[in-house]
Structure 1
Amino acid sequence: MNIELSDSKKLLALNKPKGYIVTRSDDLGRKTVYDLLPDWVFSDGWMPIGRLDLESKGLLLFTRDGKIGNLLTKPKNCIKVYEIWVRGHVTHEHILKTIKGVESPYGLLKALEVEKIGMAKAKTKLRVKIDEGKNRHIRRLFGSLKDPKFKTSLKVLSLSRVSIGDFKLDIKSGEWRFLSIKEEKALMKNL
């Protein structure tokens, strides 16, 4: 891929598919996000900004600038939006609990906003906004809640990050691109 003059030299985006781990190398031989990117991304020291677990997919940003990475991962600095499918019936009371916060061994887990955007049998589709990202934050947050009908824990079946700050995912699964300078400025404007 050729770098255009309007491309950022500091940020690139990847639409991570399920089944790839976010690490530079893996002792178990699993596929990493670097398997989806050109060799120079690894050799030039581009690092992921934040994480998505093995089963999660969606927007992942990379940079070589540690300052940018720190700004975009610092709690309260940047809103991240996810679309998730949850096994179980998510009620209005569940949504209120996720916004108030749930204590866990990992600290207080909470969402800024939760919007119900779909239903299918015993599954609920939600759009979730958070401004911090503890390890498996959303999965643990919803897993701490019980389905009112079946009395089982809610379970996140699929999770996809669709935006970080003002930058919205717009590339196909497994593809990558540089952010434009305009997109970079919009993303960094409030930091």
Structure 2
Amino acid sequence: MYRYLIFYKPYGVLTQFTDNTPTEQKRSTLKDYIPVPSVYPVGRLDWDSEGLLLLTNDGQMQHRLSNPRFGHPRTYWVQVERIPDEEALRHLREGVVIQDYRTRKALVQLLPDEPQLPPRDPPIRFRKNVPTAWVEMTLTEGRNRQVRRMTAAVGFPTLRLVRVAIAHLSLVGLEPGQWRDLTSIELELLKNLCQTDASRIQ
């Protein structure tokens, strides 16, 4: 039987069920929160990032959603150092060069107010004399540490990163560390998204 669930990953949790790092102090993993056997995360969320993670034991759906060719949207709230100007936002929207590639076009806007999020543990480190701002970014690709590299490339380093949505799935109703199964409507929409993405690239 296939399972599909979403999880609000806290800061400092690895997006895997075991920590194979050869260190004395083991880090928290998904196993500390999710007692469901044989499900695996779709894509990744960095250890120092927070937010929405989709897990399933449906291998075909996992492949469809993980493959960068399919390009489903992922939305992030990003706290950055200093306040980005319109030129920086335009570069993020149009694509910036990080490492050896240019990012795809993205939806990017400056949030007028700080979003209502649970406090991070531990709190971010920031300089008292340097303002911060929140930016909403919706990407259709998920390369390694992409959001952090994008904001750094335009001169506004990321301080806190929270993924708030994957397509139509969102964090609403979940607190850090909580998970739940998808509703039948959410699952139907997700399957439709996979079918649409597949037909678009054929």
Task: Give the TM-score taking structure 2 as reference length.
Answer: 0.80
- State the match for 1:143 in structure 2: 152
| Runs (4+) off by over 4 Å | none
- State the match for 1:187 in structure 2: 190
5+ residue gaps, structure 1, are 1-7, 147-153
Say whether the 8 Å CA contact 2:2–2:57 is kept in structure 1: no
Question: Do structure 1's residue 160 and structure 2's residue 162 form an aligned pair?
Answer: yes
- Give me the whole-angstrom Cα distance separating, in 2, the residues matched to 1:110 and 1:20: 28
- Give me the whole-angstrom Cα distance separating, in 2, the residues matched to 1:96 and 1:129: 14
Show CA shifts across 1:139-169 (max 9, x none): 00001112xxxxxxx1111111111111111
- Give me the whole-angstrom Cα distance separating, in 1, the residues matched to 2:54 and 2:113: 30
1:5-154 matched pairs, under 5 angstroms:
9-26=2-19, 27=21, 28=23, 29-38=26-35, 41=36, 44-75=37-68, 76-105=70-99, 107-118=101-112, 122-146=131-155, 154=156
Q: Secondary structure at the match of 1:61?
A: strand
Q: In 2 relative to 1, CA 16–106 (structure 1 residues): closer, same or farther, beyond 3 Å? A: farther
| 1:97 aligned partner, one-letter code | H
- Give me the whole-angstrom Cα distance separating, in 2, the residues matched to 1:49 and 1:106: 25
| 1:57 aligned partner, one-letter code | E
The root-mean-square deviation of aligned C-alpha atoms, in Å, is 1.8
- Give me the whole-angstrom Cα distance separating, in 1, the residues matched to 2:45 and 2:181: 19
| 1:135 aligned partner, one-letter code | N
Show CA shifts across 1:77-134 (max 9, x none): 3101111110122011111111221112252234510011136861111110001100
Say whether the 8 Å CA contact 1:81–1:127 is kept in structure 2: yes
Identity %: 28
Report which stretch shifted further, 61-70 or 133-142: 61-70
- Give me the whole-angstrom Cα distance separating, in 1, the residues matched to 2:6 and 2:77: 18
Deviation at 1:35, TM superposition (A): 0.9
- Give me the whole-angstrom Cα distance separating, in 1, the residues matched to 2:73 and 2:57: 21
Deviation at 1:54, TM superposition (A): 1.2
**Alignment size in residue pairs:** 173
Show CA shifts across 1:7-43 (max 9, x none): x9431010001010112211232111221111xx2xx
